[in-house]
Chains A and B, each alone.
Chain A
Amino acid sequence: MAAWLPRRVGAALLTVLAVVTLVFFAIHLAPGTPFLPSGDRPLDPAVEAGLRARFGLDRPLGIQYARYLAALARGDLGESFAQQRPVGAALAQALPNTLVLAGSALAVDLVLGTLLGVLMAARAGRRPDRWLGAATLVVYALPTFWLGLVLLLAFGQWLHWLPVGGVTDPVIHDALGFGGRFVDRVRHLVLPALSLGLVGAAGTARFQRAAMLEALGQGFVRTARAGGLSERQVLGHALRNALLPSITLLGLALPFLLTGSVVVESVFSWPGMGKLAADAIQARDYPVVLAATLVAAVLVVCGSLLADLLYAAADPRIRRESA
């Protein structure tokens, strides 16, 4: 593993660099002025030239790229055109929201999915398994934004059980105690996390079912049963083995969650990175689009690196081989 780790990390860094380059050149080839002229008047050419100079858009492309790389190294992601402030600030505010949402969705995905998968495997072939199998098949196929709209309508408007969009209640949040603030955040998080997580949970459930069935069919299970262990204990052992492949699911889950977040955040007015990117593309806000894509790619690369590390750490077979 010691030899494999630096190579893996190096590959990850190269990937990130390649992503930055590609997106940089793609965005800078876009036509259209990023500056929304005020109302019905065209922006005075002198003023627009001044703004272009200020944002560095008047230099040749190669020099812009070099300057961008240098700025990235400093941690400066440029300045947003639409929001008149550094991109870093916009991202610093948006990223935690997306991480919270993605993390909660991942939790829903894994916990619910594993529970359902174990349940289906334990009752394999019988009615609960068939019903749940059909249900997960359908839920896995739903478009996430459609699910979000339906949930918002049902729980937000018809039943008024949960709030309609946003991260916190702008009116009363500051006046609540610590417990109240936590509850407020959770209430706003429920619907977006469910919209993102349920679809993944259905997929995870199906995967876990198969993995469990495979684990249950293996030799050590027969040994355990013969040794007099209860069914529940047997399931527990099988589960530990079946969980291993689902670590790889972690690596796949992150791109799915980030893709889904672009539409789900729009549906729920969740001020995260997905919404930031969607708004920025509409407004030709180059630096923000670039930064959001870069951060998304970095997250995905880190996520899969982490998943690989976890898998290697968890599976003694892998470790022994590399030693």
Chain B
Amino acid sequence: MTAASWLALVVVAACALAAARLLGAARAEALRRFLEPRGVRAGVAALLFFVLLALAAPLVSAYGPAAQLDITGLQSAPPSWRHLMGTDLLSRDVWARITFGARVSLGIGVLATVVSVGLGALVGGAAGYFRGPTDAVLMRLVDVGLAVPRIFLVLAVLALGHPLGAASLALLIGCTGWFATSRLVRSEVLSLRERVFVEGARALGLRPWRILARHVLPGTGAVVIVAAALGVANAMLLEAGLSFLGVGVQPPVPSWGNMIADARDQLATAPWASLFPGLAITAVVVALHAVADGVRSALDPHAPLAS
């Protein structure tokens, strides 16, 4: 860590806190209410911190994520002022890999969730709105998807051929995770479609898809946001598990999951190489859960906290 990177880190942290505070003073009532509990504020601040960290990775770390500094002299060095989180077996700076790894892990989590929430909302919305045979077929499909544990699905596809790049991996994780979301969206849509404004829209002669997209789905916002927050968390945990089994993100691209896998053999002798990525994953997942809880209780204070 150089002075410049310390400065950049401080700036990033300050920005995250400031942004969280700004959001808390926003004009929108729902947003303010959502950010009222301390846990949610902390969670949002943490998420903003990690996102900014990922974006500002080159500024915040003094070394590149793949730079092997001294392969015979600086292997598995413990944390110090120069190397905030120590170095790994290939003498790469762990802090640098954490920040660049944030890009990969968060990126995969977000991309996978965009896919899974998008698919889930689409399928769940269609099933809930059109009902009848569409609903029956789609929900049978969802039953099948929910029946097979997610990791088996992913492993089965991964066994088909070449290792996937980060983007393809994210797509695959996303395509295996939309089933529960579709169920949730469907229930919401089922109740929403009986509302007066939908009847009005139908009376006005608007086409069904337009009603669904413009009027009904936006009403599922709360459910979708919660599903998205949890979806990112689950996608990140799944990616970590896949990288641990050796079929996730490929080296030298750092992801928090494959950092743990790489450092697994040195857990006893150089724990920092796997400790910090594990803590990073945990921190982001905690923040996401806090945000999800916040959304849920802000919009429906009587709903039990179920995850």
Q: A–B direct touch, CB within 8 Å, in complex?
A: yes
Q: Which of B9-17, B18-26, B114-122, B277-285 contacts A (4 or more CB under 8 A)?
A: B277-285
Which stretch of B70-78, B89-97, B188-196, B298-306 is in the interface? B298-306
Neighbouring B residues of A81 by C-beta, 8 Å: none
B157 CB contact (under 8 Å) in A26, A31, A209: A26
Contacts of A153 in B (CB 8 A): 267-268
Q: How many residues of A contact B (CB 8 A)?
A: 52
Interface string of A243-271 (1 = CB under 8 A from B): 00100010000010011001100100000
A107 CB, min distance to chain B CBs, angstroms? 20
Give the chain B neighbours of A150 by CB distance below 8 A.
267
In chain A between 139 and 158, which residues have their CB closer than 8 angstroms to a CB of chain B? 140-146, 149-150, 153, 157
* A29, A143, A296, A301: the one within 8 Å of B241 (CB): A143
Q: Which of B148, B149, B151, B286 contacts A141 (CB 8 A)?
A: B286
Bound CA span A19–B144, Å: 6
Q: Are B302 and A31 in contact (CB under 8 A)?
A: no
Which residues of chain B are within 8 angstroms of A293 by Cβ–Cβ distance? 148, 152, 156
Q: Is the CB of A300 within 8 A of B156?
A: no
Residues on the B chain within 8 Å of A259, using CB: 149-152
Tally inter-chain residue pairs, CB-CB below 8 A: 136
Q: Are B278 and A143 in contact, CB atoms less than 8 angstroms apart? A: yes
- Given known A-B contacts A138-B286, A206-B307, A284 and B159 have beta carbons under 8 A apart: yes
> Whole-angstrom distance between the alpha carbons of A283 and B267 in the complex?
27
Does B260 sit within 8 A of A, measured CB to CB? yes
B36 within 8 A of A: no
Question: In the complex the two chains form, is B140's CB within 8 Å of A300's CB?
Answer: no
A266–B243 Cα distance when bound, in Å, is 13
A29, A210, A300: which contacts B305 (Cβ < 8 A)? A210
Least distance between B105 CB and chain A CB atoms (Å): 11
State the CA gap A26–B148 with chains docked (Å): 14
Q: Which residues in B have their C-beta under 8 angstroms from that of A19? A: 144, 147-148
- Please give the distance in Å from B187's CB to the nearest CB on chain A: 14
- Separation in Å of the A249 CB from the closest CB of chain B? 8
Contacts of B152 on A, CB cut-off 8 Å?
258-259, 262, 277, 292-293, 296
Q: Are B150 and A141 in contact (CB under 8 A)?
A: no
Any B CB within 8 A of the CB of A78: no
Q: Is B161 positioned at the interface, with any CB of A under 8 Å from its CB? A: yes
Q: Is A53 an interface residue (CB 8 A)?
A: no
Pick from A8-16, A167-175, A185-193, A313-321 the stretch touching chain B.
A8-16
Q: Which residue of B lies closest to A301 (CB)?
A: B147
The reply to whether A245 and B304 form a contact with Cβ atoms under 8 Å apart is yes
Given A141-B282, A263-B244, decide whether A297 and B147 contact each other with a Cβ distance below 8 A: yes
Provide the residues of chain B in CB contact with A300, threshold 8 Å.
Answer: 146-149
Give the one of A137, A289, A292 with max B CB within 10 A: A137
**B290 within 8 Å of A (CB atoms):** yes
A149-B264, A258-B149 as given contacts; A138 in contact with B159, CB under 8 Å: no
* With A146-B278, A281-B155: A140-B289 Cβ-Cβ less than 8 Å: yes
Q: Are A255 and B149 in contact (CB-based, < 8 A)?
A: yes
B253 near A: Cβ within 8 Å?
no
- The answer to whether the Cβ of B233 comes within 8 Å of any Cβ in the partner chain is yes
* Given A137-B289, A142-B278, A143-B260: A281 touches B146 (CB 8 Å cut-off): no
**A–B Cβ pairs within 8 angstroms, 9 of them:** A142-B282, A146-B278, A259-B151, A259-B152, A263-B151, A289-B156, A296-B149, A297-B149, A300-B148
Chain A to chain B: the 6 pairs with minimum beta-carbon distance, closest first: A141-B285, A210-B304, A210-B305, A258-B149, A297-B147, A259-B149
Instruction: Kindly list 16 other residue pairs between chains A and B, CB separation below 8 angstroms, not including A11-B143, A15-B147, A137-B289.
Output: A11-B140, A26-B156, A141-B283, A141-B289, A142-B278, A143-B237, A143-B257, A144-B241, A146-B278, A146-B281, A153-B268, A206-B305, A262-B151, A262-B241, A281-B156, A289-B159
